[in-house]
Amino acid sequence: MNPLLSRLQPYPFERLRQLFSGITPDPAHRPISLGIGEPRHPTPPFIIDALCDAARNGALASYPATVGEPRLREAFAGWLARRYGLKIDPQTQTLPVSGSREALFAFAQTVLQPRPGASAPPLVVSPNPFYQIYEGAALLGSADVHYVPSDPKRNFAVDWDAVSDATWARTQLLFVCSPGNPTGAVMPLEEWRRLFELSDRHGFVIASDECYSEIYFRDEPPLGGLQAAAQLGRGDFRRLVSFTSLSKRSNVPGMRSGFVAGDAALLKAFLLYRTYHGSAMSPAVQAASIAAWGDEAHVAENRRLYREKFSRVTPMLAEVLDVQLPDAGFYLWAGVGGSDTEFARDLYAQYNVTVLPGSYIARERDGTNPGAGRVRMALVAESDECVEAARRIVQFVRERR
């Protein structure tokens, strides 16, 4: 067996299952889960129709190419042009992926290089808290992870200045997540400028995870990594690849569809890796994806639903918890003023509401876990259900005081 497998951490939901094991929630309350970040708004019918039409018209009768149909990559480039004002070559600067999760993982395997004879393994730098795939991808790529905490006092911006030059010098890959999971923070242009400078100086690659980019609460849509690069005169996107997904934008988490775009040399290597990895997108999914990327009306409606939901729930919770409307995403990242695991466990037992302890999606470093004392609440259920969960949480917190 591959010994690196033993370095993988239990997934947060596995830990949650253990935390809740043996508890029977009060049967007076029906279960409500704010635990998993799985979109639950209905899938738009035109996407389902495109999928089924393609399947009925022979799409399943041949092997797909890993690069995808030219029309698919043109749909990616068209969307990047409309959303970010970017000029992208669909042939060399985009690739389809089966959701951003597998792509983030596979990309690390493409980028990371062993350092034979070196005294220490290569490093992957990750925000903390973070999406757990970054860590698993690094560990299975024989790298170590350097976690960089986000700072609650600066809207949860990641404290890149806390990373030493010696650490950057060993870094081969940096994961950034904007809008962030779980904090919802969007990286401004100045932060991108700083990261590009560091990448130029030390040669590391930046993987920019942007799967929440279309769910936002400010007037201005979130700045994308490629957009920041273009604004800073880096139109070749050197050492930068962005990861985008339909899962949250179009409510199709089960379709497994996204794309990567950026540095053509990196994508050429990534295509080679993917050809062997065997991760080509089904032609039926390609057809449905072309339809989805070409339509913005359903995305605007989806955003409207999240905005309405967050505007109802956030003020209720802000009365009892340290929480505010995020820049973007569909999570509330709330300070509970005590143990996050006890909070989650007791809330489940007494009110049958599931939230994720923040310490499960962050790692302790130098004696501090930046997720401790916080919980992540995914407002993915429909609005009234989220409001009912908030009502129970308010009651729960008031009773605990």
Ligand X SMILES: Cc1ncc(COP(=O)(O)O)c(C=O)c1O
Token pair, residue 334, equals 């709330």
The span from the CA of 395 to the CA of 376, in Å, is: 18
Candidates 121-129, 245-253, 278-286, 318-326: pick the segment binding ligand X (CB under 6 A).
Answer: 245-253
Least Cβ distance, residue 158 to ligand X (angstroms): 13
The b/e string for 280-291 (b: 16+ C-beta within 10 A; e otherwise) is bbbbbbbbbbbb
Amino acid identity for residue 11 in this structure: Y
Least Cβ distance, residue 257 to ligand X (angstroms): 8
Q: Which is nearer to ligand X, 237 or 330 (CB)?
A: 330
199 binds ligand X per the rule CB under 6 A: no
43 binds ligand X per the rule CB under 6 A: no
Applying CB under 6 A, among 100, 132, 171, 359 the residue interacting with ligand X is 100
285 binds ligand X per the rule CB under 6 A: no
The span from the CA of 380 to the CA of 248, in Å, is: 10
Least Cβ distance, residue 131 to ligand X (angstroms): 4
259 binds ligand X per the rule CB under 6 A: no
Closest to 143 in 3D by CA, of 166, 115, 106: 115
* Preceding peptide of 283 cis, ω within 30°: no
Q: Which is nearer to ligand X, 216 or 351 (CB)?
A: 216
Least Cβ distance, residue 26 to ligand X (angstroms): 29
Amino acid identity for residue 168 in this structure: W
Applying CB under 6 A, among 41, 73, 101, 170 the residue interacting with ligand X is 101
Which residues lie closer than 8 Å to 29 by C-beta, 6 or more apart? 351, 352, 353, 392
Candidates 93-101, 114-122, 150-158, 350-358: pick the segment binding ligand X (CB under 6 A).
Answer: 93-101
253 binds ligand X per the rule CB under 6 A: yes
Measured torsion, CA atoms of residues 313, 317, 318, 321, in degrees rounded to the nearest 10: -150
Q: Which is nearer to ligand X, 96 or 320 (CB)?
A: 96
* Preceding peptide of 182 cis, ω within 30°: yes
Residue numbers at the binding site for ligand X (CB under 6 A): 37, 99-101, 131, 177, 181, 209, 211, 245, 247, 253, 258
